[in-house]
Amino acid sequence: MLKVAAILFPVIATTLMGVAVIAVLTMDMQSTSQPILFAAIGAFVLSVPISWFVAKQIPGVNKT
């Protein structure tokens, strides 16, 4: 399951980071780069458990 999660991680991480950065830009918070950076880092960290959860939901994936 770790291999499947590792394959899914880049896709999920870039999607979440893109959504988070676009949300920050939409809220007009780009006076400095700090909110954009925090949004991208937060989405990156959040994508780890999400990719693990998605990998667990795929039927036929070994539980080892």
Q: Cα–Cα distance between 51 and 47 in angstroms, integer? A: 6
Contact indicator for 16, 50 with CB cutoff of 8 Å: yes
Q: pLDDT band at residue 63, thresholds of 50, 70 and 90?
A: low
41: how many CB neighbours lie within 10 A of its CB?
12
**Average confidence (pLDDT) over 32-47:** 93
Amino acid identity of residue 15, one-letter, is T
Q: Which pTM does this prediction carry?
A: 0.83
pLDDT of 64 reads 57
Q: What is the widest separation between alpha-carbon atoms in the chain?
A: 47
The long-range contacts involving 58-64, CB below 8 angstroms and separated by at least 24 positions, are: 58/4, 61/1, 61/4, 62/1, 63/1, 64/1
